[in-house]
Homo-oligomer: A and B are copies of this chain.
């Protein structure tokens, strides 16, 4: 007899594939009866659950590199959890771990699916943000694709989001002129006052944005780290320099509305400027995750890299918190504390 013989867990499954922006009705909370642990398995209690814009892509049934979520099956994503019980020599009860796990408050996983985290070094939740897939996304997008050089100008859309805020800090560490684009005065102050960005601009009025860009990037934009897409990106492409690198990390402005996914061809700007545009997903660099994490942790210890989170309390808030990402409700990493 084990602990989980007495336990039932709650899980969120995908109920329907959203047509545009997801709604709470696309999710369903179900009760799950947990089977007994097998050898090599661990019983986990979720502490923090990550919500990320890329998960919208997995809700659609389209060809993509990451498999779509299955209807009726639990959503999966980044989770930090405490080990309640272990039938693996790798973990002991009380250990804190992270992994790509289910939106389930109590769940069974294979020991090989998770990694132990060091909660002495930093808050446990940072392993979903700064040291997790979002931090690694920023790290590899910058260090493997953009390859910033000192004094280059870097523009970041969605700059106050989980990835963008790390991208800008890495660009500062590399000695760049850093311009963040974010949608509210409080986000803009956060970028310049808390994180040391050189400039932070609003995007709602494109003409004002263009004037600001002229002033802050008089020699043009060497690196554009794009989390958003659409009209803002069209504008910035007019200002790229010869040899510019455009990192396509997200296109959140386009995810929910296919009609918006039409605009001026960027090919014209690319050919005029011998510029590079590269899409990626963090798992492309899975072989180097350890290297990336060590570097992020080193910068954090040195005090040149900061984390920032928007934490919402309660497992039941998962659907609406995820949906709020598309309204720009978060500053920094958005997550649920269970």
Chain A residues in contact with chain B, CB under 8 A? Answer: 57, 62-65, 226, 229-230, 233, 242, 248-251, 254, 261-281, 284
Contact partners of A242 in chain B: CB under 8 A: 65
Number of chain copies forming the complex? 2
Across the interface, A266 reaches (CB within 8 A) one of B265, B273, B276, namely B265
Contact partners of A261 in chain B: CB under 8 A: 264-265, 268
* Interface CB pairs A-B, < 8 A, 17: A64-B272, A65-B242, A229-B267, A230-B265, A248-B270, A250-B271, A251-B267, A251-B271, A254-B265, A262-B262, A266-B277, A267-B277, A267-B279, A270-B277, A274-B278, A274-B280, A275-B279
Across the interface, A63 reaches (CB within 8 A) one of B226, B251, B272, namely B272
A274-B65 in contact (CB<8A): yes
In whole angstroms, what is the CA distance A326 to B42 when docked?
A: 66
B262-A248 in contact (CB<8A): no
A156 to chain B, nearest CB (A): 15
Contact partners of A265 in chain B: CB under 8 A: 229-230, 251, 254, 261-263, 266
A278-B276 in contact (CB<8A): yes
A278-B279 in contact (CB<8A): no
In whole angstroms, what is the CA distance A326 to B284 when docked?
A: 40
In whole angstroms, what is the CA distance A113 to B37 when docked?
A: 78
Interface centre among A233, A250, A265 (most CB of B within 10 A): A265
In whole angstroms, what is the CA distance A64 to B242 when docked?
A: 9
